[in-house]
Amino acid sequence: MSRVAFTVVGGGPVGSLLAISLARHGYAVGLYEGRPDSRQTSVYQGRSINIALSDRGWSSLEKIGIGDEVRQQAIPMYHRAIHGADGELSKLPYGQEGDAIWSVSRGGINEHLLNLAEDEAGIATHFEHRLVDIDFTTAVTTFELANGEQRVVEADYAFGADGAYSKVRRLAHNLPRFSYSQTYMPQSYIELNIPANADGSHQLETNALHIWPRKDFMLIALPNTDGTFTCTLFLNHAGDPSFESLREWPAVEAFFEANFADAMAVLERPVDVFLEKTAAPLFLVQVFPWSFNRKVALIGDAAHAIVPFYGQGMNCGFEDCAELHALIDRYDHDWERIFPAYENARKPNGDAIAELSKRNFVEMSDLSGDKRFQLRKQIEAKFSERYPKLWTPLYSMVTFSPDVPYAEALRVGDEQNEVMESIMAMPGIADDWDEEYVMERLHDLALQTFGAHQ
């Protein structure tokens, strides 16, 4: 009897990790990527080349047995370094002492996962295979090769892991009762660069995610292992200021000087790059169902493309893979049960992290630079350290608590927000925040709200 075969459409990080997981369960996997092999050509040029990997991503990698290898290529970031408009620098820790999110190269982690996939006996990788059709009842796929020829691939099952612009998902639009929504954010983005010092060291603090929050827009910088920083400018597509309104050199230079004066000293040709690049849109995709006829399913951004403001896009996709990894064992390879179980487990969490990601733009671009917001975070951190079973801050639930589903984090976070609104409304809170009576009041409110879970 021949081995059960899977086709995985999309050779990005999620598709590669999924292929490894399936192969380690004994399946034959064909991994198909429309672009050339990124290890031989620069397919990531000008695209998002940094991502933040947090505990959910690490937990997913470790469940499949490759966490330690990837960690060697990552830089821990222990806090946000907030750059004020006046040049003042402040720090906002991500969690408790030692908690960090990790800056990793998207291209680097993708190539590492591809290398691991090719080391698996059950995986065959194919590049420059562009999907043109998929049969959702048989999982038969048709690809177009670089020379124009077509190749028909038969398999028992197929996954669309082909990203935010998924062709598998677009083909699913022809199916009955397929719900789809795509929502654009007001902001678009371009990437900028901070080069390394002559000796290869970083020009800014290495172990931090740098943010220049300016309310309706912001600049962020993530460190790379070669001493550079990958920077992203998020700015409204239209309005004033916006990518549409800033078209001339003097106006762009004045915009940077007024808002990012300290960054101007280290950014590489920011005005030129701003004028040369076309801003990319930010959008969210929500669909249902995620699986079709117990034969084909969507995973990663193909199922739940989100905006990057919580740094959870790839983490969520990796968590999809870990969920499937567990379900294969739980249901003893019965895909009639695995597909619906996967969809039911992951869809609510995909919706929750999409909502949380939208909200976090406001926290990053506006609130993170606000002294009152920073005070609120201090109070939460102190209380959480004292009563860790009663209160885990929302950011820590999302980023450092892989056992807490995103949907649960969203629900609890909304309840915590109501409690903290009451605390921040207390007279004299700015001066008395460190007084014991504040902790006692917060403890009383938290017990009323969460006492049953203590």
The secondary structure of the chain, three-state, reads CCCCEEEEECCCHHHHHHHHHHHHCCCEEEEECCCCCCCCCCCCCCCCCEEEECHHHHHHHHHCCCHHHHHCCCEEECEEEEECCCCCEEEEECCCCCCCEEEEEHHHHHHHHHHHHHHCCCEEEECCEEEEEECCCCCCEEEEECCCCEEEECCCEEEECCCCCCHHHHHHCCCCCCEEEEEEEEEEEEEEEECCCCCCCCCCCCCEEEEEECCCCEEEEEECCCCCEEEEEEEECCCCCCCCCCCCHHHHHHHHHHHCHHHHCCCCCHHHHHHHCCCEEEEEEEEECCEECCCEEECCHHHHCCCHHHCCHHHHHHHHHHHHHHHHHHCCCCHHHHHHHHHHHHHHHHHHHHHHHHHHHHHHHCHHHCHHHHHHHHHHHHHHHHCCCCCCCHHHHHHHCCCCCHHHHHHHHHHHHHHHHHHHCCCCHHHHCCCHHHHHHHHHHHHHHHHHHC
* pLDDT (0 to 100) of residue 418: 95
CB within 8 A of 322, min separation 6: which ones? 21, 59, 60, 63, 64
- Here the tokens at position 81 are 């370094």
* pLDDT (0 to 100) of residue 1: 42
Quote the radius of gyration of the chain (alpha carbons, Å). Answer: 23
* pLDDT (0 to 100) of residue 42: 65
* pLDDT (0 to 100) of residue 47: 45
Which residues make beta-bridge pairs with 191? 232
* pLDDT (0 to 100) of residue 429: 94
pLDDT along the chain (454 residues), means of 10: 88 96 96 91 56 92 82 91 91 87 89 92 96 98 96 98 97 95 94 96 97 93 93 96 97 97 96 96 96 98 93 94 95 98 97 93 73 89 92 93 96 96 95 94 94 56
Distance CA 59, CA 90 (A): 30
* pLDDT (0 to 100) of residue 43: 54
pTM of this structure: 0.92
**What pLDDT, in 10s, does the model give residues 23-60?**
999 999 999 999 999 888 765 444 445 789 999 999 98
* pLDDT (0 to 100) of residue 370: 77
Strands of 291-292's sheet in order across: 123-126, 28-32, 5-9, 157-160, 296-298, 291-292
Phi, psi of 215 (to 5 degrees): 70, -75
Whether the CB-CB separation of 53 and 399 falls below 8 Å is answered with no
* pLDDT (0 to 100) of residue 368: 66
Phi, psi of 377 (to 5 degrees): -65, -35
Whether the CB-CB separation of 320 and 10 falls below 8 Å is answered with no
Distance CA 243, CA 274 (A): 9
* pLDDT (0 to 100) of residue 64: 76
Distance CA 152, CA 140 (A): 7
